[in-house]
């Protein structure tokens, strides 16, 4: 999937807001505020359930990595997520 198309699809799902569970949350991490090298996807099946997390790592900016963005879209689709959230900005890796 084209990286721009994947990013737009994720953005559209995030804008819908909370629609219930299952919930997928995306958080971007980087050594600086300019380059994302890690993406953490957290899946929560239902309220009160233990979240499951998966991390994707990239040598370049993960936001522009076609493979990672496509996997994020496929993960959202396959989990039948009712809600997709995204942590604003880039969290710094410590």
Q: What is the mean pLDDT of residues 18-24?
A: 97
Q: Which residues in 6-44 are b (16+ Cβ under 10 Å) and which e?
A: bbebbeebbeeeeeeebbbbbbbbbeeeeebbbbebbbb
Assess if residue 94 is contained within a domain: no
Q: For the chain, what percent of residues have pLDDT higher than 90?
A: 93
Q: What is the pLDDT of residues 35-79, one digit of tens each?
A: 999 999 999 999 999 999 999 999 999 999 999 999 999 999 999
For residue 22, tell me if it sits in a domain.
yes
Which two structure tokens, joined as six digits, stand for 41? 């996807």
Q: What is the CATH number of the domain that holds 11?
A: 3.30.420
Q: Which residue has the tokens 């959202």?
A: 76
Instruction: Give the structural domain span for 31.
Output: 3-87
Confirm whether 93 is domain-assigned: no
Q: What is the pLDDT of residue 69?
A: 95
* Total structural domains within the chain: 1
Residue 16 domain-assigned? yes
Flag whether 92 is in a domain: no
């Amino acid at each position: 999937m084209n990286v721009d198309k994947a990013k737009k699809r994720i953005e559209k799902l995030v804008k819908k807001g909370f629609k219930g569970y299952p919930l997928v949350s995306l958080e971007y991490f980087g050594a600086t505020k300019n380059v994302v090298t890690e993406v953490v996807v957290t899946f929560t099946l239902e309220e009160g359930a233990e979240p499951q997390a998966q991390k994707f790592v990239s040598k370049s900016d993960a936001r522009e990595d076609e493979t990672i963005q496509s996997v994020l879209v496929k993960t959202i689709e396959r989990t039948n997520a009712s809600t997709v959230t995204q942590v604003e900005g880039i969290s710094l890796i410590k």
